[in-house]
Amino acid sequence: MNVFEVMGPVMVGPSSSHTLGAVKIGLTARQLLQEEVQSAEVLFHGSFLATGKGHGTDKAIIAGLLGIKPDDERISDSFRIAEERGMKFSFGGTELRHAHPNSVLLKLVGKGGRKLEVVGSSLGGGGIKIDKIDGLDANFCACYPTLIIHNVDQPGHVAEVTSMLGRYSVNIATLQLYRDKRGGRAVMVIECDQEVPEEMQDRLKKTEGILKVTYLSMEEKDEFPIIR
Amino acid sequence: MSFRSLDEILNKSEETGKAFWQIVMEDDMNERAVSSRESFEKMRLLYESMRNANAAYNKDLLSASGLVGGDGEKVSHALKEGKLLSGPYVGETIAKALKMGENNACMKRIVAAPTAGSCGVLPAVLLTYEEQKQADMDRMVEAMFVASGIGVVISIRAFLAGAAGGCQAEIGSASAMAAGALAYLQGGSGEAIAHASALTLKNLLGLVCDPVAGLVEVPCVKRNVVGAVNAIASADMAIAGVRSQIPPDEVIDAVREVGEQMPRTLRETGEGGLAATPTGREIAERVLHK
């Protein structure tokens, strides 16, 4: 651990895994949806289900989905704020296979109609992992600019995407590939050292055989100004 | 961090003639490729956040379970009435430790140091010192670097999470970090800093993590008090010249060994110790199914 991993962060309590991590999962899911959340079905697994309520995990997830940051005391008021903004939400329990004890499945619908299913887990000390997106493995820490591409499992897509990244001078830190079955739906999860330009994301979206492009930016956005 | 032991920090300090805190800050500068000003400023902001969090205490708040709230105020009140044996210095430390722990349980803003559950120890010790000794702000920030360096070594040789090593890893580590910081503030040598943390860890070795209903409330909030007071006692011993007979790095290794042997029920599962008492179970039933 580094100096500022031991000391800090500034956060709203009570728990780095059950509160801070949960806000981060919500924030990441919101960014992946790339629009305001219209409705959210929140399904807790394991310890999130067992002790989440007492740790404010439910409020923390909703806060993150609204764009409230981990050190913002309005986390405890997130249900009311969600209501004010017309965001619908519900909670339930679920049994996720091979999942970390602190996991949650989020089923989101955006204001513009975008849909997204995310499984995220809180690893302790505020670290998180996005395990699945739309049912396919994703497995990234949300600590790099991350490009997630769902495509038809056919030859050429990896080369196409990686060479396009090269042309935009984006260096690849890690690359993972998964698929549901041969010739079925495949996913590339690419963690990058630089931000992926919007223009490139748009080009990818128009590419034949690419079904969905999801992008997680690391640029700080203050999406949640104080409402009075 | 490039240091795997307190000895390494002490040796480097001796070789270069730089203070313990400077060695730790330079390591951060190196790791994050930042200037000394940026590193110092970041730490100063954390210290200020601790101060603000302390000032924002609200005696009327209760945690979601209703188990925690208002205790820090009780101690402050008793202190004002002159009822406390421990006197103004330690009494104030106790009150501050409780208040920060309560802030955390009540979903207020805190600084994890090193964890959220142990967030009361360092601010209780440092803010009280600053107030009572009218210490200079820069010195307080330097003390924060001392504390961080100790925490980093513990994180590398042992652990900082209750789920990994029990409460000795959380309150124990926070206490060791605070003791080293105090020894520094009181003019102690690098050796005194290391031994202050060793004495602290020895006193809390084996402390289990047994939160009632799995919440960061009972006994966590009050254990911040023992962490803070233990830090003062250990720093005083170290300043007086008392030394741990077991070398500081070996004490940290003992924390790891004890933590590894600790049964799962006593590592933040809420299944053993106080959590498993009849009352603990009853509370869990009430809180989690309400």
Q: Residues B181-198: pLDDT tens digits? A: 999 999 999 999 999 999
Q: For residue A75, which residues of chain B lie inside 8 Å, CB to CB?
A: 107
Furthest-apart CA pair in chain A: how many Å? 54
CB contact under 8 A, A7 and B110: no
In A, minimum Cα distance to B173 occurs at A6
Q: For residue B29, which residues of chain A lie inside 8 Å, CB to CB?
A: none
Q: Give me the torsion for CA of B52, B54, B55, B57, rounded to 10°.
A: 130
% of residues, chain B, pLDDT over 70 = 99
Whether A199 shows a pLDDT value over 90: the answer reads yes
Selected residue of A1, A2, A7, A11 to mutate for chain B interface (largest B Cβ count, 10 A): A7
The three-point CA angle A73-A78-A83 to 5° equals 150
Question: Nearest-CA distance from A3 to chain B in Å?
Answer: 6
Digit-coded pLDDT (tens) for B188-246: 999 999 999 999 999 999 999 999 999 999 999 999 999 999 999 999 999 999 999 99
* Omega prior to B211 cis, within 30 of 0: no
Q: Tell me how far apart the alpha carbons of residues B151 and A10 are, in angstroms, rounded to a whole number.
A: 17
Whether A225 shows a pLDDT value over 60: the answer reads no
Residue B127: what pLDDT? 98
Average pLDDT score over chain B? 96
Q: Tell me how far apart the alpha carbons of residues A41 and B167 are, in angstroms, rounded to a whole number.
A: 35
Q: Grade residue B288 by pLDDT with cuts at 50, 70 and 90.
A: confident
In A, minimum Cα distance to B146 occurs at A3
Residue B182: what pLDDT? 98
Question: Nearest-CA distance from A131 to chain B in Å?
Answer: 22
* Weakest mean pLDDT among B84-93, B99-108, B265-274: B265-274
CB contact under 8 A, A8 and B215: no
What six digits make up the tokens of A33? 């949806």
Residue B269: what pLDDT? 87
CB contact under 8 A, A11 and B110: yes
| Of B151, B171, B166, the residue nearest B274 (C-alpha) | B166
A to B CB pairs, distance under 8 Å: 130
User: Which helix (H) or strand (E) element contains residue B45?
Assistant: helix B36-55
In B, minimum Cα distance to A46 occurs at B269
Q: What is the mean pLDDT of residues B74-85?
A: 98
Whether B29 shows a pLDDT value over 70: the answer reads yes
CB contact under 8 A, B152 and A6: yes
Selected residue of B38, B109, B220, B223 to mutate for chain A interface (largest A Cβ count, 10 A): B109
Cα distances from B147 to residues B44, B105, B113, in angstroms, run: 13, 24, 9
Considering just the CA atoms, what is the radius of gyration of chain A in Å? 18
Using an 8 Å Cβ cutoff, are B42 and B24 in contact?
no
Q: For residue A4, which residues of chain B lie inside 8 Å, CB to CB?
A: 28, 32, 42, 46, 148
Average pLDDT score over chain A? 93
Digit-coded pLDDT (tens) for B125-161: 999 999 999 999 999 999 999 999 999 999 999 999 9
Q: What is the mean pLDDT of residues A160-188?
A: 96
Question: Nearest-CA distance from B83 to chain A in Å?
Answer: 31
Digit-coded pLDDT (tens) for B51-72: 999 999 999 999 988 999 999 9
Residue A224: what pLDDT? 59
Same-fold call for A3-140 versus A146-216: no
Using an 8 Å Cβ cutoff, are B21 and B143 in contact?
yes
In A, minimum Cα distance to B145 occurs at A3
Residue A227: what pLDDT? 46
DSSP secondary structure string for all residues of B191-218? HHHHHHHHHHHHHHTT--B--GGG-SST
Q: Tell me how far apart the alpha carbons of residues A183 and A181 are, in angstroms, rounded to a whole number.
A: 6
Q: Tell me how far apart the alpha carbons of residues A103 and A153 are, in angstroms, rounded to a whole number.
A: 28
Digit-coded pLDDT (tens) for A134-165: 999 999 999 899 999 999 999 999 999 999 99
CB contact under 8 A, B288 and A53: yes
Q: Grade residue B290 by pLDDT with cuts at 50, 70 and 90.
A: low
Q: Which residues of A36-73 are buried (b: 16+ CB within 10 A; e: fewer)?
A: bbbebbbbbbbbbbbbbbbbbbbbbbbbbbbbbbbbbe
CB contact under 8 A, B108 and A9: no
Q: What class, spelled out in words, does domain A146-216 have in CATH?
A: alpha beta
Domain A3-140: CATH superfamily is D-3-phosphoglycerate dehydrogenase; domain 3 (3.30.1330.90)
Residue A223: what pLDDT? 62
Digit-coded pLDDT (tens) for A95-143: 999 998 899 999 999 999 999 999 999 987 788 999 999 999 999 999 8
Q: What is the mean pLDDT of residues B260-277?
A: 94
List, in order of start, the domains of chain B with CATH numbers: 6-288 (1.10.4100)
Residue A126: what pLDDT? 86
Residue A222: what pLDDT? 64
Answer with the residue of higher pLDDT: B125 or B32: B125
Q: Is A213 exposed, middle or buried (0-12, 13-18, 19+ CB in 10 A)?
A: buried
CB contact under 8 A, B31 and A8: no
Using an 8 Å Cβ cutoff, are B227 and B171 in contact?
yes
* Omega prior to A9 cis, within 30 of 0: yes
Residue A101: what pLDDT? 86
Neighbouring-strand partners of residue A177 = A188
**CA B80 to centroid of chain Cα atoms:** 25
pTM exceeding the 0.95 threshold for the entire prediction? no
Answer with the residue of higher pLDDT: B1 or B115: B115
Domain ranges for chain A? 3-140, 146-216
